Structure 1
Amino acid sequence: MLEFCQFGAGRIGAIHADNIALHSGATLRYVVDVNEAAARAMADKYGAQVVSTETALADRAVGAAIIASSTDTHADLIEAAARAGKAIFCEKPIDLSLTRVESCLEVAKEAGVPLALAFNRRFDPSFATLQRRLAEGEVGEVEMVCITSRDPAPPPIDYIKVSGGLFRDMMIHDLDMARWLLGEEPVEVAATASCLVDPAIAEAGDVDTALVTLRTASGRLCQISNSRRAAYGYDQRIEVLGSKGMLRAENHRPTTVEAATGDGVSRDKPLYFFLERYAAAYKAELDAFIDAVSSSTEPSPGGYDGHAALRLADAALQSFKEKRTVTLVW
């Protein structure tokens, strides 16, 4: 039985706590959160205890730590958990500073503990199937990848102010997907962006609409389309063009019912919220982490993937600000 301590009892933390409870080989032992009421509610629900960071990490019965607290706490908690010998499952990003991420990864490496990054979209059943069939060569060599990721509405301005911006907060998921699907590291990044949804986002120093083009050393291309607004729902699509054909993963909808009448053909809008759209992915990613720890294998995606995605996000931001293509050496 793998016992967890969890940092963070908010929206994402609640998802992870539910998925621990659903796994026959795991249990939640401790909850740590600055919001004592939220921590108490979660602990009471799962028979856990509310304790301090020090108490949670000092308990040798605890084998793993979930870090689902605010971004500014991630790096410190990773280092503390690593030094305590805990396997670590951390929400993205590790930190908003590449230098801080690098020092954090070094601590985890020296401690010899597993570190998984919660890039949950790799575990979405549709996307995972697409990637598997791509790797099996069904459509030949990858030539172009198109990733569409658009939120139904922007998050609160207070969140945007501390999020690190669209490229580091929202697009970082798509940049990880791009690396995964391209099968090669992008060496050129070109970005353009605007603020078309809410002027308050621009006043907060961010953008809400962006396009990024990536190019690998062999010439493979990827285009990522992001927007903080899609009136029709949560838009999550992937298309990969290969030398022998194409693979595509479409939006998920509440039902598959389609109506055809004299007025036209209609069907349900895409699922509205990311917690609904990626419910299966959240469960699968934690199951994969538990399996990796239990079998003493390296979890994936890991710390390097978190670092690489942040490098691409920083390059995209630099490209946008400097109005030029940024070159990366890996």
Structure 2
Amino acid sequence: MKIRVGLIGFGRMGQMYWEEMQKSGRWDIAYICDTDSVSRELAKKLSPSSRIISDEQEIFDDCSIEVVGLFALADSRNEQIKKAVRSNKHILTEKPIADTIEKEWEIVDLIEKYNKVAAVNLYLRNSWYHQTMKRFIDEGEIGELAILRICHMTPGLAPGEGHEYEGPAYHDCGMHYIDIARWYAGNEYKTWHAQGMRMWNYKDPWWVQSHGTFQNGVVFDITQGFVYGQLSRNQTHNSYTDIIGTKGIVRMTHDFRTAVVELHGVNRTLRIEKPFGGKNLDKLCNIMADSIENGKHDPRLPSMRDAAIASQYGWIFLEDACRNELPGIGNLQTLEEIRERRRHMKEGYGLLRPKKTMV
């Protein structure tokens, strides 16, 4: 029996969830809701068996809908999650779970008293490469975990291209890396210092590095920025995870197509090369479906609390960077050249998905 779901938001992420749910054969996508008429027309073309609507309340009022997928902007999620709870539905949502940290913790308090499955897309936890490295560490192959080094720099989304409610890049994208560092450490953040850069003299820092400690003494540094050569003729990126133990190391790099994991342990040395896997929405949707069918929240599903903690420290690190001599280099004219180039690019990093076509 397929699980009946209503999707709210049919932009870039909503389309990606729709694709994976269609492929799996486990979901009956009964509704697709979007306030944008072009997105609704696209949904009608792609998903003729779904009811295409502009009023989300229809989904919450339909007792046959078991799950709501929340893929619109962050400022809509607080109220949508509350509606889902009132209508007794399972919840699958993008992050962050609200547009302010106060509202996020309000949602955490609500959901932790709720008896339905509620999960957030913190996709790195379900990636094959992080799962592989975590198992190797848990087996004791690198000794005691000591140092976490995580970097993700791409041309990516330029300022003004989609961070209105999710915050600057270090919050919107960076909270994935803040979350995965905490997942590896198995502990909470204790101390930190952050430095940022206002590239192109934009008002917010678009590159930030934070470093500090967890309560168990593990040290971290996390670097994230969508500043990596936007106007270079041939674009590139720099993305890695480098984990150092008292006896060995594990590390990973990727090119968005292939990920390479290198494991240097006391008993084994391995090099594993496999397809990158994208945002792992197929895994997330399948684990969600398993949890609903089994009536038990799978621990692999990131929780609302996980999302709120990652979001909170994203804001904390950004605020710390803003206090620490936040320089601005470049000018807004260069930023406009970047935006203009990206409007016409067919291939590149973090390009917004055109509304009228599926990519």
Secondary structure of 1:163's aligned partner: coil
Task: Return the offset for 1:214.
Answer: 2.9
| Counterpart residue number, 1:271 | none
Query: Relative to 1, partners in 2 of residues 1:255 and 1:217: Cα closer, same or farther, differing over 3 Å?
Result: closer
| Counterpart residue number, 1:265 | none
- One of 221, 226, 230 as aligned partner of 2:219: 221
Task: Return the offset for 1:174.
Answer: 0.7
Secondary structure of 1:140's aligned partner: coil
Question: Matched residue pairs, number?
Answer: 300
CA–CA distance in structure 1, aligned partners of residues 28 and 186 of structure 2: 35
CA–CA distance in structure 1, aligned partners of residues 19 and 143 of structure 2: 40
| Counterpart residue number, 1:19 | 20
| Counterpart residue number, 2:290 | 291
CA–CA distance in structure 2, aligned partners of residues 95 and 173 of structure 1: 16
Task: Return the offset for 1:126.
Answer: 1.4
Secondary structure of 1:157's aligned partner: coil
1:191 to 2:185 alignment = no
Q: Point out the structure with the larger helix share.
A: 1
CA–CA distance in structure 1, aligned partners of residues 258 and 211 of structure 2: 33
Structure 2 runs not aligned, ≥5 long: 230-234, 260-274, 326-359
% same residue: 17
| Counterpart residue number, 2:317 | 316
1:69 to 2:72 alignment = yes
Secondary structure of 2:175's aligned partner: helix
| Counterpart residue number, 2:204 | 206
Deviations 1:220-243 (A, max 9, x none): 011111121223434331111112
Q: Where do residues 1-330 of structure 1 align in structure 2 (5 Å cutoff)?
A: 1-46=2-47, 47-51=49-53, 52-196=55-199, 198-199=200-201, 202=202, 205-231=203-229, 232-252=235-255, 254=257, 278-279=277-278, 281-299=280-298, 300-323=301-324
CA–CA distance in structure 2, aligned partners of residues 161 and 233 of structure 1: 26
Deviations 1:135-168 (A, max 9, x none): 3322122100111111224335253444312332
What residue identity is the alignment partner of 2:56? T
How well do the aligned residues superpose, as a CA RMSD in angstroms? Answer: 2.2
Query: Relative to 1, partners in 2 of residues 1:323 and 1:254: Cα closer, same or farther, differing over 3 Å?
Result: closer
Deviations 1:167-202 (A, max 9, x none): 321211110111111111111121110123x33xx2
Kindly indicate whether the alpha-carbon contact (under 8 Å) linking 2:257 and 2:276 is maintained by their aligned counterparts in 1: no
| Counterpart residue number, 1:272 | none
CA–CA distance in structure 1, aligned partners of residues 125 and 236 of structure 2: 21
Kindly indicate whether the alpha-carbon contact (under 8 Å) linking 1:30 and 1:43 is maintained by their aligned counterparts in 2: no
Query: Relative to 1, partners in 2 of residues 1:229 and 1:61: Cα closer, same or farther, differing over 3 Å?
Result: same
What residue identity is the alignment partner of 1:165? P
Task: Return the offset for 1:81.
Answer: 1.0
What residue identity is the alignment partner of 2:126? F
Kindly indicate whether the alpha-carbon contact (under 8 Å) linking 1:121 and 1:278 is maintained by their aligned counterparts in 2: no
Secondary structure of 1:239's aligned partner: strand
| Counterpart residue number, 1:327 | none
Kindly indicate whether the alpha-carbon contact (under 8 Å) linking 1:125 and 1:280 is maintained by their aligned counterparts in 2: no
Deviations 1:249-297 (A, max 9, x none): 11136579xxxxxxxxxxxxxxxxxxx9653612212222222222122
Kindly indicate whether the alpha-carbon contact (under 8 Å) linking 1:3 and 1:26 is maintained by their aligned counterparts in 2: yes
TM-score by length of 2: 0.78
CA–CA distance in structure 2, aligned partners of residues 75 and 252 of structure 1: 35
Query: Relative to 1, partners in 2 of residues 1:294 and 1:233: Cα closer, same or farther, differing over 3 Å?
Result: farther
